[in-house]
C-alpha cells in the first residue's frame, strides 16, 4: 500500500443523495426488496469518485459506501477548519466591538462634560 496524503473531498458538494426503488420486476432473479432505498446513483457518483463504484461482470454498477467514509471524514475536517476560523473571527469581532463600545462610552461622557460646560458658559453671558 502506498497511501496518498490527499483525498479530494472538495467534490462532496456535488454528491446528491436520493430516494429510489430498485427495479424488482425487471430483475426478479436478484431478489431485490421493494422498499424505498436511500443512497446515490452509481453512474452519477462514478463521475466524481470512481473509486467508490463497483462494476460487476454483467456491467451493473453499485456504490461501495464504506469507501465514501474517508472522503466524508476529510470533508468534515475541512468544514471544521472553516468553522474554527469563523469562530476565531467572530471572537475577534466581538472583542473589537466591545472596545468600540467602551470608546464610545468615553466619548459620550466627554461630550456630556463639554456640553454642560458650554451650557454654563452660555448662562454666564
55 inside domain? yes
C-alpha cell at 53: 463504484
Q: Over the chain, what is the mean pLDDT?
A: 90
Q: What share of the chain is helix, strand, coil (3-state, %, to 5)?
A: 60, 10, 30
Q: Is residue 38 part of a domain?
A: yes
Per-residue pLDDT, 77? 94
| pLDDT confidence band for 6 (50 / 70 / 90) | low
> Per the domain annotation, does 26 fall within a domain?
yes
The answer to the question of residue 121 being in a domain is no
- Model confidence at 121: pLDDT above 70: no
pLDDT at 15: 93
pLDDT in tens, 47-79: 999 999 999 999 999 999 999 999 999 999 999
Which residues form the domain of 57? Answer: 10-65
User: Is residue 84 in a domain?
Assistant: no
| Residue 93, in any domain of the structure | no
Q: Provide, rounded to the nearest whole percent, the portion of the chain with pLDDT above 90.
A: 72
Q: pLDDT class for 104, splitting at 50, 70, 90? A: very high
In this prediction, residue 111 has a pLDDT band, given cuts at 50, 70 and 90, of very high
**Distance, CA of 27 to CA of 117 (rounded, Å):** 93
User: What cell does 18 get?
Assistant: 436520493
Name the least confident of 29-33, 42-46, 51-55.
29-33
Assess whether pLDDT exceeds 70 at residue 124: no
The pTM (predicted TM-score) of the whole model is 0.71
Q: Does 16 fall in a domain?
A: yes
Instruction: Identify the three-state secondary structure at position 32.
Output: coil
Q: Please report whether residue 70 resides in a domain.
A: no
Count of domains for the chain: 1
The Cα–Cα gap between 92 and 88 comes to 6
Amino acid at each position: 500500500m502506498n497511501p496518498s496524503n490527499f483525498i479530494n473531498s472538495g467534490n462532496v458538494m456535488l454528491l446528491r443523495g436520493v430516494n429510489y426503488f430498485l427495479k424488482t420486476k425487471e430483475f426478479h432473479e436478484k431478489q431485490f426488496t421493494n422498499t424505498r432505498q436511500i443512497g446515490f446513483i452509481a453512474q452519477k457518483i462514478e463521475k466524481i469518485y470512481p473509486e467508490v463504484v463497483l462494476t460487476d461482470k454483467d456491467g451493473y454498477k453499485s456504490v461501495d459506501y464504506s469507501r465514501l467514509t474517508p472522503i466524508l471524514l476529510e470533508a468534515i475536517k475541512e468544514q471544521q477548519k472553516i468553522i474554527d476560523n469563523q469562530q476565531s473571527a467572530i471572537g475577534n469581532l466581538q472583542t473589537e466591538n466591545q472596545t468600540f463600545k467602551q470608546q464610545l462610552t468615553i466619548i459620550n461622557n466627554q461630550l456630556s462634560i463639554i456640553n454642560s460646560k458650554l451650557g454654563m458658559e452660555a448662562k454666564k453671558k
